[in-house]
Amino acid sequence: MQVLVLQTSLRGADSASRALVDTYLNTLQAHHRDVTITVRDLASQPIPHLPAALIPVQLGLSEGADESAALAEELIVELERADIVVIGVAFYNFMISSSLKAWSDYVVRVRRTFVYGAEGPIGLLPAGKKVIAFMASGGVYSAGPAAAMDLAIPYLRTIFGFIGITDVEVVRAEAQADPTAGPVALDRALEAARLFA
Ligand SMILES: Cc1cc2nc3c(=O)[nH]c(=O)nc-3n(C[C@H](O)[C@H](O)[C@H](O)COP(=O)(O)O)c2cc1C
C-alpha cells in the first residue's frame, strides 16, 4: 500500500491536523505490513506558486524542461503511485493553506490527470484511490451557522474529483480555538483517525 502524505500546518508539534495524521499512520503501520509512506511537508518545504513557465506544460502544449517541470512531474508521479492520499489540513481563512493550493496547481494537468470529453471533464488518475483529509479548525463548520464558510472541504472534493478521486473521507478536529471544547473534539477525532486505519 502506497500512502502519500501532504502536511500543511505551520504549527509543528502543536498542530492538531499533524497529530491526526500521525495517529492514522501509526495505526495503519501497526495493522498492515506493506505500507510505504511518502511525505510532502508543504509547510516546512513549500513548493513555489505555479510559475509562468508551467502554463504550457499544464495545458498539455509542452513537456517543459526547467526545474518547475521536473517538480510537477515528481508531484504527479507521487500522486499516480499513491493508493491513499492523507492530508493534514490546517484551516486557514476559511480555506486550505496556500501551500496545498500551490500543490494542486502542479498536479492538475491536461491529458495527464484530466481531460475534457464530450460530456465534460474526465479525471485520468487510476481508479480506486482514496483521499483522507484530517482537518483542524479554530471554529465549527461541520454544522451550524458557519457551515457555508467552510470552503476547504468543498474545494478538496472538487479538485480531487476533477482528476478522478471521488472517494474523499473527512475527519475534523473542530473548535480548536475553544479551550474546553477543543481538546474533547481532538480526542474524538484522534479516535476516528485510529478507526480509519
Ligand atoms: C492564518 C490563520 C488563519 C486561520 N483561519 C481560521 C479560520 O478561518 N477559521 C477557523 O475556524 N480557524 C482559523 N484558524 C485557526 C486554525 O484553523 C486552527 O489553529 C487549527 O487548529 C490549525 O490547524 P493545526 O492545529 O493543524 O495547525 C486560522 C489560523 C491561522 C494561523
**pLDDT-based confidence at 65, cuts 50/70/90?**
confident
Residue 50 has pLDDT above 90, yes or no: yes
Host domain of residue 158: 2-196
| pLDDT, tens only, 11-40 | 999 999 999 999 999 999 999 999 999 999
Cell 471533464 maps to which residue? 121
Residue 87: strand, helix, or coil = strand
Q: Where are the alpha helices (DSSP H) in the chain?
A: 16-31, 55-58, 67-81, 98-107, 152-162, 181-196
Q: What is the CATH number of the domain that holds 170?
A: 3.40.50.360
Mutate to test the pocket of ligand 1, among 10, 137, 141, 142 (most ligand atoms within 8 A of CB): 137
Instruction: Name the percent of the chain in helix, strand, coil, to the closest 5.
Output: 40, 20, 35
Cell 463548520 maps to which residue? 141
Average pLDDT over residues 82-100: 98
**pLDDT-based confidence at 189, cuts 50/70/90?**
very high
The rounded distance, in Å, linking the Cα atoms of 101 and 153 is 12
- Percent of the chain whose predicted confidence (pLDDT) is above 70: 100
**Gap from CA of 94 to ligand 1 centroid (Å):** 8
Residue positions counted in the chain: 197
Average pLDDT over residues 186-194: 98
Question: What total number of domains does the chain contain?
Answer: 1
Task: Name the maximum alpha-carbon separation found in the chain.
Answer: 54
**Gap from CA of 138 to ligand 1 centroid (Å):** 5
